[in-house]
């Protein structure tokens, strides 16, 4: 019989990997556009986005940033001591789980904002907004719908990571701390 702790570990990893998979299609969708494929996007949209041209660099940079963010999610699946330099003082080493988990939560909040803004301005985000939906339009919409799952999955993985590793860091702090007497005041 597995313990609650082992199920928590699996849930964190599952949310992390599912979040990676959810964020990947939109980045991959943009890469063929960068390489010159039209993917059925309307000529007017490509012209407005300056593709080919300056818009190509924007798409490339956006995809690179997204793939980097997805890659950073691997830190949520790794024990903090494996990514912490040994030369770092002990009291700073204990901060690593909080930094990793906190960064994940901050990323989830930023992604949630971006998804919300994209939904509000969907006609500007969706290249097929003014056209009839064909197979390419549905593929594009599917990629973006999956991306909407990325923030909650990243948030859940980050909170689970903090619960798993944050409690351990606090316990280590309590075990190694010394009790100090409060200075006495005259009455």
The answer to whether the CB of 13 falls within 8 A of the CB of 77 is: yes
Write the CA distances from 84 to 3, 18, 51, 94, 157, integer angstroms. 28, 25, 42, 9, 20
pTM, entire model: 0.75
Q: Which 8-state DSSP code applies to residue 2?
A: -
Domain boundaries along the sequence of the chain: 4-76+88-171
Secondary structure in 3-state letters for 24-58: HHHHHHHHHHHCCCCCCCCHHHHHHCCCCCHHHHH
Q: Which of 32-36, 127-131, 150-154 reaches the highest mean pLDDT?
A: 150-154
H and E: helices and strands count for the chain: 9, 0
pLDDT band at 125 (very low <50, low <70, confident <90, very high): confident
The answer to whether the CB of 79 falls within 8 A of the CB of 157 is: no
Helix (H, G, I), strand (E, B) or coil at 143: helix
Q: Which helix or strand (DSSP H or E) is residue 95 part of? A: none
135-144 residue pLDDT tens: 888 988 888 8
Residue 6: what pLDDT? 55
**What would the mean pLDDT of 171-184 be, rounded to a whole number?**
47
Q: Which of 125-134, 149-158, 165-174 reaches the highest mean pLDDT?
A: 149-158
Q: Which of 6-10, 113-117, 120-124, 177-181 reaches the highest mean pLDDT?
A: 113-117
Residue 181: what pLDDT? 44
């Amino acid at each position: 019989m597995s313990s609650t702790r082992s199920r928590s570990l699996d849930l964190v990893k599952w949310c992390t990997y599912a979040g990676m998979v959810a964020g990947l299609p939109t980045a991959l969708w943009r890469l063929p556009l960068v390489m010159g494929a039209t993917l059925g996007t309307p000529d007017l949209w490509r012209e407005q986005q300056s593709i080919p041209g300056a818009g190509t660099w924007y798409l490339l940079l956006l995809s690179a940033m997204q793939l980097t963010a997805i890659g950073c999610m691997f830190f949520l699946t790794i024990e903090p001591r494996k990514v912490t330099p040994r030369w770092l003082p002990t009291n700073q080493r204990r901060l690593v789980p909080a930094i990793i988990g906190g960064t994940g939560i901050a990323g989830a909040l930023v992604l949630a904002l971006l998804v919300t803004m994209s939904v509000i301005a969907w006609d500007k985000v969706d290249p097929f907004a003014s056209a009839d939906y064909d197979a390419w339009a549905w593929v594009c919409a599917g990629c973006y719908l999956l991306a909407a799952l990325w923030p909650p999955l990243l948030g859940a993985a980050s909170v689970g990571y903090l619960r798993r590793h944050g409690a351990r860091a606090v316990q280590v702090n309590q075990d190694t701390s010394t009790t100090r007497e409060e200075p006495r005041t005259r009455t």
